[in-house]
Structure 1
Amino acid sequence: MLFTVLTGLITSSLLIPFGKLIKTKWSFLLPLIPVVLFLFYLGHVPRVASGTNFVQHLDWVPTLGINLDFRLDGLSLLFALLITGVGTAIFFYGKSYLKGHPYFDRFFAYLLLFMSAMLGVVLSNNILTLFIFWELTSISSFFLIGFNNDNNDSRNSALTALSITGLGGFFLLAGLILVGNVAGTFVISELFEKQALLTAHPLYPLMVGLIFIGAFTKSAQFPFHFWLPGAMKAPTPVSAYLHSATMVKAGIYLLARFTPILGNTELWHTTLMIVGGFTMLFAAVHALFRIDLKGILAYSTISALGILTFLLGVGTDKALIAASVFILVHALYKATLFMVTGIIDHETHSRDITVLSGLRKVMMPVFIAALLAAFSSAGLPSTFGFIGKDLIYEATLNYQENWVIWLTALAVLTNIALVASGFMAGIKPFLGKLPQRFEKVHLPAPSMWIPPLLLAILGLVFGLVPGVIGDLFNRQAANAIFQADTGMHLAIYHGLNLVLLLSVVTLASGTVVYFINKPSLQKLQAVERLNSIAPQRIFTKIAGGIMQASDWYTRTFHNGYLRSYHIKIIIFAELLLAYKLWLSGPLHIDLEKLTPLTWYEVGFVAMLLGALYIIVTTRSRLTSVVSTSVIGYCICLMFVFYSAPDLAMTQFTIDTLTTVLFVLVLYKLPSFINMTSRWVLVRDAIVALGFGVILSLIALKVLQEPNTTEISNFYGENAYLLAKGKNVVNTILVDFRGIDTMFETVVLSIAAIGVYSLIRLRLKSSEKE
C-alpha cells in the first residue's frame, strides 16, 4: 500500500525534469499510473469482500507516535477504487482536454500529487499520518483550483478554498491530537476499542467539535459551503475529479471512519443530522436557480455531500448502507456530468443553459452519457441511482417514529430538487433546436467522450446487478462504518411499498419542477441579493479584519528597521525580568558582602560614562566606534582587576576585531549620521537606563542566593578527565557546550559575509551624500 501512495508522489516529482517529454511522445504513460493502481486494488476486492483486512506497518517517527501505518478494509477499499478508477477516466479525459497547454506537465504533476494524497488519507491507519496527507490534499488542490493562474478569479478561488480547508485542518489537527492523547494511541484500528473511554471523557464535546469543523470545511457543509462553487474556476478535469469522487468526500470519509470511534452519542448524531439536513436542502434549492452548468453541478454536489452527512448522522444500519451505496452512485453520475460539461464548454465555449440547446444533433455519444447520468441522478428504475434513492428513504422511514415524517419529507424535497437540477445539467443542453452558432460544433477526441460514457454505462450496469455490486464493494464498507455485519444485500425490486411510492413521487415531482422551472439571469440576480447575509460575506469581513490586524501588526512589529526590532526585544526582556524580580520578593542588600570601591575602579567607571556620553551625542560614525571601543577596553580592565585574565583577553580580542570591522564598513558609508528627534533620544535613554537598573538588581539579587559550587566543581573535576584539557573555560566552550559554540561560529560567519558584502559595496557619489 505504501508503494501505491508513493507512486504518484515520485512520478509527480519526475515530471519536473522530464516535463518536455511528457508534453510530447510520453504523454500516453500518464493514464497508465491510475490504471495500474486501480487494477492493484481491484485485485483485493474478493478477499476484502470476504471480510479480510490488510495492515501494513512501517516506523517513521515512532518517538512522536507517527508511523506509516496503512489499513485496507471495506471503507478504504471503496474510496481507493473511486480515487484510482475515476482517476483513470480523468487522466484519459484530461490528456485530450489540456492537449497543447503550456503547463500540461505541471497540471498532471499536481493531479498525481493529489491522487497520492487522497490515497494516503483513506489508507492511513495512523491519525497523524492521515492528517499529513489531509493537508497535502489541500495544498495540491490549491494548485489545481488556481491552475489558470493568469486569471484573477482562479487565484481568488484557490486562496478561498485553501483558507477554508486550511482553517479546518488546523482544528482537525487539534482534535486528532486530543483524541490520541485521551485514548493513548494514534492507531485508528486501536481507537475502535477506545470508544467508551472517548465518549465518556469530559473533553468529548471538544474533540467532536474540532473534528466536525475539519470535516465540514473539507466537504463544503453549511456555512463553509461557499468555497466549492468558487472552485469551479478550475479546469473541468479538476472539477470532475476533486468535486465528485475525491477531495470533497475526504470529509465524508473522516466522519465515516470516526463514526465507530466517536459516534453513537446524541451530540454526534444530532449535529450531523442538522448540518447535513440543512445543507442538502439549501444547496438543492440553490441549484435550481443556477444558469451555469458548473454552478448547477457545484450546488448539487454540496447537496449530495449534505445527504451523506445526514445519513451518517441518522447512524442506523440502513442509513450506513445507504451512505455506502450513495458514495458510489454519486461519484459515477457526477463525474460523468462534470466531464460532459467540460466537453460542452470545450466545443461551444459556453456553459449557459439559457443559450445551450440541441447539442444531441452534433454530440450524440455525449448526449447518451449525459442522459444516463441524469437518469441515475434522478433515481430512474434500472439505474444505480434508483437503488441509492430507495435506500435513503428506507433509512428515514425506519428511524425513530416521532422523526420519520420530518426526515422523510426533508429527503423527498431534496431529491425532487436534485432530480430537476440533474435534468437541467444532463438533458436541457441537448434538447430543443440547435442554434446556428453551434452548427459547426463536433465531437471531441474519443479519449474525451469515452470516459464519461463508460462511467454512465457503469451506473446502468450496477443498477441492473445491484446484488453483485453491493456484495463486492458496498457491504464491507457499511460494515466498517457500523463495526458489525449490516446484513446488506441489494436488490432491484422490493415489492410495492411506501419506499417505491416515494421514489415514484420524487421522480414525477422532479420532472414537473424541471419543466416548470425556467432559470434566468434575472432570477439568479434576485437570489444573489441575499448574499449580504450569506456566510461568504461574513467570512470575507472576518478575513478583511484579520488582514487589517495583520497589516497593523506587521507595520508595528516587523517594519524592517533593525533599531525597531532591538528596542522591542529589549523592552520585552525588561518586562519579563522585572516580573520575575517582582515575584522573587523584596531585595535586601548586605553592604558587608560588598567590597569597598577603589580609586582606579571609580576612574574607569567615570571613563566608561564619558565614552558613553560621547557615543550618544556625537554626529560622527568614526567617533562613535572609537568611543565604543573605549567602553570595551574598560570592561577588559575590569576583568583583570577581578582576576579573570582569560575573559579579559577574550573581550580584548573580540572588541579589537569588531572595531576594525566597523571602521572598514563605515569607511564606505557617509561620514556623519543624522540626529534623531529628542523624543526618540529620551525614549531610548529610558529603555537603556531601565535595562541597566534591572541587570544591576539581578546582580545584587544573586548575592542573596546560597553559594553553591556543584556546577563549577563538576567542570573542574572533569575538564581534564573527559575533555583532556586543563583550561576549564576552553573545555566548556569547545567540548561540554561545543554545539553552542558551533552555532555561534555559524552566526559569526554569516555576520562576516554581511560585512564583506558591505565592504565590497560601491556607492555612487550622489548616494554618499
Structure 2
Amino acid sequence: MSPALIALLPFIGALLPGLLIRSGRTVAATACGTTTLVALLGLLLHIPAILRGEVATARFDWLPLLQLNASFRIDGLSLLFGILILGIGLLIITYARFYLSRHDSIGKFYTYLMLFQGAMVGIVLSDNILLLLVFWELTSLSSFLLIGYWRHLPEGRQGARMALTVTGMGGLAMIAGMLILGQIAGSYDISEILNAKDAIQASPYYTPALILILIGAFTKSAQFPFHFWLPHAMAAPTPVSAYLHSATMVKAGLFLMARMWPVLAGTDQWFWIVSTTGLITMLLGAGIALFKDDLKALLAFSTVSHLGLITMLLGFGTEEAAIAATFHIINHATFKAALFMTAGIIDHGTHTRSIARLGGLRKLMPITFVIGTVAALSMAGIPPLNGFLSKEMMLYEASHLTMAKQGFMVLATLAALFSVAYSLRFIFHVFLGPQRDDYPHKPHDPGFGLWFSPGLLVALVVLIGLFPNTMAGWLVDASAAAVTAGHPHAHIALWHGVNAALIMSVIAIAGGAMLLSLHKPFQSAWDSAPRPEAKAIFDWLVLRIVFASRGISDNLTNGAMPRALAAFTLATLFAGAVAWYTGSAGPVTRPMLPIEPVPLIGWLMVLVATGCMVFFHRIRVLALVLVGVVGLVTSVFFAYFSAPDLALTQISVEVVTVILLLLALNFLPKRTATETSSVHRGWDAFIATLAGIGMGSLCYAIMRRDFAFDSISGYMLENSHNLGGGDNVVNVILVDFRGYDTFGEITVLGIAALAIFALTQTLLQGKSAKRLINWVHDQRRAGDRHPVMLVIATRVILPISLVVGVYIFLRGHNQPGGGFIAGLAVAIGLLMQYMASGYAWAQERQTLPYHALIGAGVVAAGATGIGAWFNGLPFLTSAYGYVKLPFLEKFELATAMGFDLGVFLCVVGAVMLALNSLSRIARRAGETVNKNPMDIDLSDEPKEGAH
C-alpha cells in the first residue's frame, strides 16, 4: 500500500462517524476501527522491504519551485511509530466505545480522534519538512479538540488552551528552525537533509537552527521547562489520555529528535542541551509523580519522567543509546497505555481517581488488579518485564559516560528510584491493603469491552520481557538503523552478568521500596512546603501578555475605527517613506501620455463624487451611493484602458456590495454621529491628505519607470494558450498560473460568508433576538415594500441572469468572463428576488443550502488541482483538449473549467449566504408567507404594530 494512502486513510475515517452515527455507536466505532486496521495492515506489508534496508516512498508535486511537495516515506523509524500510532489507536477506539457514556457525543469524539490520528501518521510518514510542519500544527489543533472534549469541565477547557498555547508556541519556533535547516541543506526533503550532515554542522546557523527545532520538540514532548501542560491535559477523557501519553502527541517530539538525529547529533551543543534537558525532566517528573493523589496525575507526571528518559538517551549521541531509546519507546507505549486505561476502569468502577479514597481493590476488581499490577511493575523496571530491559539499558549507557559526565549516572539512578516508588505506590495504595466501606461507588470489574485493550497490552509487556529479540528485536534494529543511519544490532537479554547497570537497578528497586515505606512523612513535608506551581506561572504570564497587548491596543485605537485607520495609515506612510529615502527608485524612463477628454471627464467625476462623499458622509445612504458612483466610474476606466475583465468584475462587485451594504445600513441610524471637535476633523483631513499624496506619488513613480527585473507579462501572453488552454490571459492567470492565489481567495471568501452567518446567528438569540425580530419598518403599506413593476421586472430578469451567467462562465477561458463574474451575475439575479418580494417569499422558493454551496465550490476547485497528480503533474496543473459532439463544431475543453466552477459556486454561495443572514434578522414580526407570486397590500390602513 502506498505511504500516501496510509496517511490518507485516518482522515477518511474522520468523515465516517458523522455520517454513520445514526446507525449506532457500534457502527461508528467499527467504521473508525476498520479504517485504522486497514491502514495498519497496509503499513505492516512494508515490513519485509524495511528489514532488507529499503525505503518505501511516494511523491506528489505540490509547489515544486518552493520545494513544498506531498512526499512520504516509510523506513524503520516511520514503521515503529506508525505501528504504535495505528496499533494502540485501534485499541483506544475499542476501549472508547465502552468507556464513553450515552450522553457523550461519540460521533464527534471519533471524528476528533481520527483527525488526530491522521495528523500523527502524517508526521511520521512525511518526507518533506514543510509537509511535516503542516501535520505538526494539525496535531496541536486536533489535540486541543480532544483535550477540551468535555467542554462543560473548566479544567478541560483550561488544559486544552494550555496545550495549544505551549505546543503552538513551540511549533512557531520549530518552523523557523526547519526553514533554516532546509536553507543550509539546499532542500526541504528529509531524505536530502539527512545526507547533508557535514554541511549542516559546519554552518554558522547550526546552533540557532538546533535550538529552534529543539524548542518545538521539547514543547511537544513536555520537556522541562515546558512539562506543565501535559499533566493538565489529563482533564480529557481517559481514552484520549491513554492515546496522547503513550503513542502519539508526546511522542511527536521524540520522533522529531530521532528523525533529525543523523544530522544534528554528535556535537557538544546537542549533547548538553538534549541530555541535560532530558535528565532534569526525568528527575523532576518522577519526583512530582510520587506525591500526586490523582491516579491520572501520577501517571501523567510519570509520562513526563519517561519522556525525559528517552530524550536523555537520544542526547547521549551514541548508537547504543539510540537503540535503548527506540526500545523504551515501544515499552513505554505498551505499559503506559495499559495503565491509563486501568485508571479509567478504576474511575469507572469506583467513581473516583483519588488514591486516598481507594485501596483494597485486589479482590473486588481482580482482573483490573492483574492488568494494573503487571503494567505498574513494568513501569517500575522489575524483571522479567519489558520495562526492566530498557531501563537497565538506560542505566548502562549512563554508567559508560566519561568521568566529566558521571553526574548523569547518579541522577539517573535517583530518577529510577523515584520511578520504582511511585509505581509501587500505584499497586499498594490502590489494590492492596484492607478493603474500605466508604467507596464512592461499589467497585466491580468491567465487562470484556473495557479490559480487552489493556489486557492485550499487558500480554505484550510480558511477552516482550520474556522474548525481547523475537517480539521486538527486529523492530528495534530497523528503527535504530533509521535513527543512526548505520547498521546497529540490538542484543537484548534479561541477564548480562553483574555490572554497573545491574547494581544501579538493584539500588533503584531497593531504594524505591524503602522510600514507599516512608511515604507518609515525605507526603506531609511535600504538602506543607512552599513551591512554585507551573500552572500559576503560566496563567500569570498569559494574563500579563493579555494586559500588555490590550494596553497597547487601547492606546493605539481606543476601540474607535478612525483612530485605528489613522494608526494604520501613518504606519504605512512611514514605512513607504523609509523605503523611498533609503532605496534607489531609478531614473524616469517612460514619457507622460497626452491628456484625452474621456479620461479627464471620468477623473473629474471621481473627484466630484469623492468630494461630495466627504461633505455628505453623515448621510449614510447618500454616501453609499456616491461610493458606488466612484466604483462605476472606475470600471469605465478599466474598459477604456482595454481591461474588460476588470470592468465586468468591478461593475458586478459594486452592484452586489451596494445591495448588501444597503441591507446592513437598515440597522444603523440614517445619519452618523457628529465629530467631537474641529481639531479631530482637521487631524483626519491632514492624514487623508498625506495618504493621498503618498499614494499618488507612488503611482506616479511606478508608472514613469520600467521594472528593474523583466516583467512576467510576456511569459503570460506567450503561454496562456499553450500551457493553460485559453486565450483570455486574465482568466488563465486566475485559474492556472496563479491558481493558488485564487484557491486561497475563494476559501477566504467562504470563511467571510460563514463569519457573517455566525455573527447574525448570535443576534437571533437572547435579548437582541426579541428586539430585532420585532423590529418593523417605518412604513404604512406593504405595497411600498413590493412595487408591482419591480416584482414583474425581477421575474423576467432572473432567467436572463441565469442564462447570462452560464454564457459568461462558458466563454470565460477565451473571452472576457469566467466563474467569478458569472457567479456575481447569477447572485445579482437572485438578489433582485429578495429586493422585489421580500425575505419570506424568496426564502420559501430559494431553498439552496448556501453553506453546502460554498463547501462544494472549494472542494471542486481542490479536486481539479488534485486531478493533476494522477498524471504525475504538480497540483493545479491544467490540461486541455478538443471535443467533437454530434451536431456541434469541435470545441476546446480545459480542466481549468472545473476550477472555475468551484469559483462560481463559492461566489454564489457566499453572496447569498450573506444576503440570507442579513435579511433573516430584518424580517417583520408575525409576517406570514403569501402563496401568491406577489405580496401586495393595497389597503390604506396601517398594519397592527407598525410605527
TM-score range, shorter chain: 0.7 to 0.9
Distance 1:646 1:472 in 2: 67
- Among candidates 355, 375, 400, match of residue 357 of structure 2: 355
Offset at residue 184 of structure 1 (A): 1.6
Over 3 Å counting, the alpha-carbon distance change for 1:762 and 1:689 in structure 2 is farther
User: Counterpart in 1 of 2:540?
Assistant: 541
Asked which structure has the greater CA Rg, the reply is: 1
Please give the residue correspondences for 1:276-315 in structure 2 after superposition, counting only pairs within 5 Å: 276-315=278-317
Match of 2:684 in 1: 684
Identity %: 34
Amino acid paired to 2:683: R
Q: Is the 1:291–1:521 Cα contact (8 Å) retained in structure 2? A: no
Counterpart CA distance in 1 for 2:556 and 2:62 is 36
Alpha-carbon distance in structure 1 between the residues aligned to 2:816 and 2:521: 70
Alpha-carbon distance change, 763 to 520 in structure 1, aligned in 2, over 3 angstroms: farther
Q: Distance in 2 between matches of 1:296 and 1:378?
A: 13
Cα distance in 1 between the residues matched to 2:241 and 2:628: 67
Superposition RMSD in Å: 4.8
> Of the candidates 145, 153, 156, which is equivalent to residue 155 of structure 2?
153
- Structure 1 range deviating more: 679-688 or 344-353: 679-688
CA distance in structure 2 between the partners assigned to 1:35 and 1:260 by the alignment: 32
> Could you tell me whether the CA contact under 8 Å between 2:16 and 2:28 is conserved in 1?
no
Residues 622/166 of structure 1: CA separation in 2 closer, same or farther (3 Å cut)? closer
Distance change in 2, residues 1:456/1:612 (3 Å): closer
**Deviation, structure 1 residue 321:** 1.8
Deviations 1:358-412 (A, max 9, x none): 10111111111111112212222211122112111111122223323x1111110
Q: 1:333 to 1:612 in 2, by over 3 A?
A: closer
Residue 224 of structure 1 aligns to a residue whose secondary structure is coil
Secondary structure of the structure 2 residue equivalent to 1:301: helix
- What secondary structure does 1:186 align onto? coil
Checking the alignment, whether the CA contact within 8 Å between 1:378 and 1:386 is kept in structure 2 is yes
Instruction: Tell me which of 465, 480, 483 is aligned to 2:482.
Output: 480
Task: Give the corresponding residue for 2:433.
Answer: 432
2:501 matched to which residue of 1? 499
8 Å CA contact 2:302–2:419 kept in 1: the answer is: yes
Alpha-carbon shift at residue 631 of structure 1 (Å):
11
Residue identity matched to 1:680: H
Query: What amino acid maps onto 1:434 in structure 2?
Result: Q
Indicate which of 319, 322, 325 corresponds to 1:323. Answer: 325
CA contact (8 A) 1:375 1:383 kept: yes
Deviation at 1:142, TM superposition (A): 1.2
1:402 maps to what in 2? 404
Answer whether contact 2:274 2:311 (CA < 8 A) is retained: yes
Q: CA deviation at 1:736?
A: 13
Q: In the alignment, what sits opposite 2:276?
A: 274
Could you say which residue in structure 1 is the equivalent of 2:6?
4
Q: Which amino acid aligns with 2:78?
A: S
Choose which of 109, 121, 124 in structure 1 pairs with 2:123.
121
**Which residue of structure 2 aligns with residue 728 of structure 1?**
none
Separation in 2, partners of 1:373, 1:187? 40
> Which residue, 185, 190, 203 being the options, matches 2:205?
203
- 1:318·1:394 contact (CA, 8 Å) conserved in 2? no
SS in 2 for 1:367: helix
| Aligned partner of residue 71 in structure 1, secondary structure | strand
Structure 1 match to 2:414:
413
Deviation of 1:740 after TM superposition, in Å, equals: 11
Cα deviation, residue 119, structure 1: 1.8
Give the Cα–Cα distance (whole angstroms) in 2 for the partners of residues 613 and 129 of structure 1.
Answer: 52
Map Cα deviations across residues 473-513 of structure 1 (whole Å, 9 max, x no partner): 21222222222222321122111222222211111111111
Shift in Å, 1:219: 0.2
CA separation in 1, counterparts of 2:625 and 2:381?
Answer: 88
- C-alpha distance in 2, partners of 1:298/1:153? 15
Aligned partner letter, 1:530: R
Deviation at 1:519, TM superposition (A): 8.1
CA contact (8 A) 1:397 1:408 kept: yes
Partner residue in 1 for 2:104? 102
Q: Indicate how the Cα distance of structure 1 residues 436 and 672 shifts in structure 2: closer, same or farther if over 3 A, else same.
A: closer
After TM superposition, give the deviation of residue 88 of structure 1 in Å. Answer: 2.6
Report the counterpart of residue 775 of structure 2 in structure 1: none
Change in 2 beyond 3 A, CA 1:625/1:261? closer
| Structure 1 residue aligned with 2:186 | 184
Are the aligned partners of 2:36 and 2:90 in contact in 1 as well (CA < 8 Å)? yes
Aligned-partner residue type, residue 546 of structure 1:
I
Checking the alignment, whether the CA contact within 8 Å between 1:354 and 1:519 is kept in structure 2 is no
Paired residue secondary structure (1:16): helix
Distance 2:59 2:697 in 1: 55
Alpha-carbon contact 1:611-1:627 (below 8 Å) kept: yes
Instruction: Give SS of 1:68's match.
Output: strand
Cα deviation for residue 341 of structure 1 reads: 0.6
The aligned residue for residue 755 of structure 2 is none
Separation (CA, whole Å) in 2 of partners of 1:525 and 1:563? 55
CA distance in structure 2 between the aligned counterparts of 1:113 and 1:623, rounded to whole angstroms:
51
Tell me the distance in 2 between the aligned counterparts of 1:681 and 1:617: 14
Does the CA contact (< 8 Å) of 1:665 and 1:759 recur in 2? no
Which structure has more RCO (C-alpha within 8 Å, separation ≥ 6)? 1
Moved more, 107-116 or 561-570: 561-570
Paired residues, number: 731
Q: Contact (CA 8 Å) 2:17, 2:28: kept in 1 or not?
A: no
Q: Which residue of the partner structure matches residue 731 of structure 1?
A: none
Tell me the distance in 1 between the aligned counterparts of 2:703 and 2:469. Answer: 86
Task: Report the equivalent of 1:112.
Answer: 114
Opposite residue 263 of structure 2, the aligned amino acid is I
Paired letter, 2:532: N
Counterpart-to-counterpart distance in 2, 1:300 and 1:681: 64
What TM-score, normalized to structure 1?
0.82
Q: Hey, what's the Cα distance between the residues in 1 that align with 2:98 and 2:140?
A: 26
The aligned counterpart of 1:138 is: 140
Contact 1:288 1:417 (8 Å CA) reproduced: yes
**Which amino acid in the other structure matches residue 687 of structure 1?**
I
1:237 is matched with 239
Residue ranges of structure 1 left out of the alignment (5+ in a row):
725-733
Q: 1:470 to 1:610 in 2, by over 3 A?
A: closer
Contact 2:46 2:56 in 1 (8 A): no
Q: Structure 2 vs 1, CA of residues 196 and 22 (structure 1 numbering), >3 Å: closer, same or farther? A: farther
CA separation in 1, counterparts of 2:45 and 2:557? 57
Distance change in 2, residues 1:440/1:182 (3 Å): same
CA spacing shift, 1:519–1:447, aligned 2, 3 Å: farther
Counterpart Cα distance in 2 of 1:562 and 1:320: 58
Distance 1:608 1:475 in 2: 77
Task: For residue 437 of structure 1, give the secondary structure of its aligned residue in structure 2.
Answer: coil
Moved more, 96-105 or 685-694: 685-694
Give deviations 1:331-353, integer Å, cap 9, x for gaps.
12111111111100011011111
Q: Tell me the amino acid that sits aligned with residue 494 of structure 2.
A: I
Residue type matched to 2:544 in 1? G
